Structure 1
Amino acid sequence: MRFVLLLGSVLSSIFLSVPDLQRSDLASKEIFLAYIYYSRPNMSCAACEMFNKNISELQRYIPVKKINFFEEPRLGSSFYTFLFPSFVVRDEGRSYHLPVDDYADLEAIVREKRWREFKVTRRWMDVDSYFIKVYSVANHVFFALMQRSYKVIDVIPGWIVSLGFSGAIAYMLYCICIIFVVPGEKEKRE
């Protein structure tokens, strides 16, 4: 049991050694792999946890920079991805999204420098475009409100939430019935 705990602490410290992505890195012409994952308190992404164990090994082939979408939704939204984990190679100012499902595929692509075989992100959708800058600010506001709502919903008991949804559904059904029933009654009276 102690061995498992020791192994877990070693792996987490290795993951922490991977540098965080900074906004200034996006303007850089240097090649790097952006690792976008999602982790928040009381919730974990199983696929992200799997990649967290091995992602630091890719530093042998390419510089890796990580970003937690939960902590940095504005910067994470710049990559226009909402599937986690996501991998984006920045090469000469262009972005290449790598659709991989396991670490072996990712390692093969990076080791053999095959990211240019994948579709490059369009210029107007790339991380330094004006559209994405506006889009990422809007997403930052949206996700900030969502994060605040998580805190509120976590405090409210489940039966109150169910009662609220039941009331809303009952009101919608009532309104639908009124729409279809009332015009028929008026026609009968005339």
Structure 2
Amino acid sequence: MIDSAGVILVWQVDPSSALRAGPVIEAFEWCARHGVPVVAALPALSPEGAPYDRILYGAFAFARAEVPAVRRFISPAGTHPASETERRVATALEQDAELTGLFACNASIPIGAWGGTVRVDLLCATHRIVVELDGPEHRAEPKFGNDRHRDYELLTAGYLVLRLTNEQVAADLSLVIEKVRAVIRLRRDANGS
């Protein structure tokens, strides 16, 4: 005889496969017949009908609102900002009603025919816009020339690049955000979206 006083069966059922769920549901039913409490967790809604109809009466659904993938990362703007200037701009973008949720920090973008990628400061994947924030080191070679080549690669991959300086961010962050908003509107209006 089983002493069911201290036993609880907890199991995660794969609702996408009725064939694999069948034996687990039979185990649940055996436990229930023998007085063992059962907790089943289904990571997604199960199909209606057999074998799920045997266990779902009295079930509770716990659901979370779907969050876009770009919003599931470390910072509200996407991935981790690499500099204080990026953090300031990313925070301001997230606080702007029109721009919130559009940008990810330090995102990688595939470019070129050979499968290369570039990492950009801020990416709006929806409208294919890149915002680069440049410190003083970007004014001299080789960075200056490398930046122009990256801009070319991004342009030929379908991205519009807006370059702003760290000094512009420090002097007038609201003007920087207004420039980003203007580019978003330009791109959105051009694409009719």
TM-score (norm 1): 0.27
Q: Which has the larger radius of gyration?
A: 2
Q: Which has the higher contact order (CA 8 A, sep 6+)?
A: 1
- Of Structure 1 and Structure 2, which has the larger fraction of its residues in helix? 1
- Of Structure 1 and Structure 2, which has the larger fraction of its residues in strand? 2
TM-score (norm 2): 0.27
